[in-house]
Structure 1
Amino acid sequence: MSVPEKYALITGASRGIGKAAAELFSAHGYHLILTCSRSVKELETLAVELERTHGITCLPVQADMGCEADVERLFAHVHALDILVNNAGMAHFGLLSQMTSAQWHQIMAVNLDSCFYTCRAAIPLMLQKHRGRIINVSSVWGARGASMETAYSASKGGMNAFTRALAKELAPSNIQVNAVACGLIDTAMNACLSPEDMASLQEEIPAGRAGTPAEAARLIYQVAHAPEYMTGQIITLDGGWQT
């Protein structure tokens, strides 16, 4: 008896959490569609490595996930889908009073509009199979809010509400929607923090350290394979920081 092929789309997969998730899903036999907005060579190299190592197919696509036209172009290549991981995101540190309208709209586009575009396109593919999993990569600041990160916090708060509402909408169709809310994870997104700032943050965390992309990827994979009755949940991964 042949094993059905499995397909996963992971956005923002050239580095950090997205890359770690791509490595984990491919190791479990998933065929992948991976996106990035800028680091194209890194994504293409990753795709080749995953295909060679795990014997899966991996399609790298350059796309701005906050751009509706780019997402439509991406989904022209997607004909079957079991898992959607909305990981593409960006941060902005600074006073709201000094933020431009363009910066605000970019944060909302990349972090929140992207979920609308991808989910809208993915749902018909999942309905064909009467099953599917959507995992949105959120942040603890989506629930707590962070000083100097008002726009980022608002976008992740919106993602959390989006997750809960869409989960209710899709539950009758056996499509589960959950979010993983990360705390401090050691990724390039935090490169703007000085060593002193990073050390200060880690002192606040009961676990005494930042999380790793591999840890976040493992939780994403677990959520993607959780019991079907689990949906609409915002699951925190933060070393006890904001618990």
Structure 2
Amino acid sequence: MKHALITGASGGIGSSAAIRLSREGYSLYLHYCRNAKKADELKEKLEAEGIRCRTIQSDLSAPDGPDRLLNQIEDPIDLVVLSSGTAPYGLITDLSDQEAAAQIQLHVTSPFLLVKKLTPGMVARKAGNIVFITSIWGETGASCEVLYSMAKGGQNLFVKALAKELAPSGIRVNAVSPGAVSTDMLASFTTEELSALQEEIPAGRIGKPEEVAEAVAFLASEKASYITGHILSVNGGWN
């Protein structure tokens, strides 16, 4: 049986990725930070379909988060989907040092430590997949989301560098870079703001979490066997 770890599985993209990957025969570790209710609901839904699941609680914005998560894993991991993330909005001068440290821990340090601990098993088996959920802002940058853009840009370069390092061991590392997607990150937008946003997007609409999940499933599959170090934009032509 193949085992996948999905961080941020209680979120819109993470939960959609879990549902999509369950169709590929994965047993799932569903990580969440605070939203135990959504994580449990997802677990119940998947178990009702015969999927083996386990929820894992850990705050990856805290220094002890990675070890807390890893200590709850009992199987060799074949696929890691790194989907945890929040996006504080505001001028760079409005963000506290504590917020900055937590965001770097969440988006950069914790993923680095998780991958560092999980890759030796993949190397030993000469197989494995790592897929990051980054962001369009990691490619183009965004005013009032400077910290988030910086962190996601770091993830993109981590993907490219790590892919080169692990390719000789049969391990692929890629990222899906979504544009505007209908998740809780857009929950604070007004109807007018959402309408204006859609007008900026050539496809004329907001993306769906399921569309991002399809890209994750593709990159994790043998159909993408010669793709590594790639940042796959899923943004409706918005850039």
TM-score, reference length from structure 2: 0.95
Asked whether the equivalents of residues 135 and 224 of structure 1 are also in contact (C-alpha less than 8 Å), the reply is yes
2:225 maps to 228
2:134 maps to 138
- 1:221, distance to aligned residue in structure 2 (A): 0.5
Alpha-carbon distance between aligned partners in 2 of 1:76 and 1:128, rounded to the nearest angstrom: 20
Alpha-carbon distance between aligned partners in 1 of 2:24 and 2:160, rounded to the nearest angstrom: 28
Asked whether the equivalents of residues 62 and 102 of structure 2 are also in contact (C-alpha less than 8 Å), the reply is no
Alpha-carbon distance between aligned partners in 2 of 1:69 and 1:106, rounded to the nearest angstrom: 12
String of CA shifts for 1:94-152, please: whole Å, max 9, x gaps. Answer: 01111111111111111222210221121022123210000000011111100110000
Alpha-carbon distance between aligned partners in 1 of 2:72 and 2:33, rounded to the nearest angstrom: 17
- 1:13, distance to aligned residue in structure 2 (A): 0.6
Does residue 85 of structure 1 match 2:84? Answer: no
- 1:70, distance to aligned residue in structure 2 (A): 2.6
- Of residues 232-241 and 106-115 in structure 1, the stretch that sits farther from structure 2 once superposed is 106-115
2:59 maps to 64
Alpha-carbon distance between aligned partners in 1 of 2:51 and 2:124, rounded to the nearest angstrom: 23
1:97 maps to 93
Alpha-carbon distance between aligned partners in 1 of 2:143 and 2:68, rounded to the nearest angstrom: 36
- Of residues 70-79 and 5-14 in structure 1, the stretch that sits farther from structure 2 once superposed is 70-79
Does residue 218 of structure 1 match 2:214? Answer: yes
- 1:68, distance to aligned residue in structure 2 (A): 4.1
Asked whether the equivalents of residues 174 and 228 of structure 1 are also in contact (C-alpha less than 8 Å), the reply is no
String of CA shifts for 1:166-224, please: whole Å, max 9, x gaps. Answer: 11110111110001111000000111222211111110101100100000001110011
Aligned CA RMSD, in angstroms, stands at 1.2
Q: Which one of the candidate residues 42, 48, 69 is aligned to 2:44? A: 48
Identity of matched residues, %: 41
1:237 maps to 234
Does residue 168 of structure 1 match 2:164? Answer: yes
SS at match of 2:64: helix
Does residue 106 of structure 1 match 2:106? Answer: no
- Residue type of the alignment partner of 1:65: L
Does residue 24 of structure 1 match 2:12? Answer: no
SS at match of 2:134: strand
Alpha-carbon distance between aligned partners in 2 of 1:58 and 1:85, rounded to the nearest angstrom: 15
1:117 maps to 113
Alpha-carbon distance between aligned partners in 2 of 1:143 and 1:128, rounded to the nearest angstrom: 33
The structure 1 segments of at least 4 consecutive aligned residues displaced by more than 3 Å after TM superposition are none
SS at match of 2:130: strand
- Residue type of the alignment partner of 2:153: G
Cα gap change, 1:116 to 1:11, in 2 (>3 Å): same
Alpha-carbon distance between aligned partners in 1 of 2:178 and 2:39, rounded to the nearest angstrom: 23
2:202 maps to 206
- 1:73, distance to aligned residue in structure 2 (A): 2.5
Unaligned runs of 5+ in 1: none
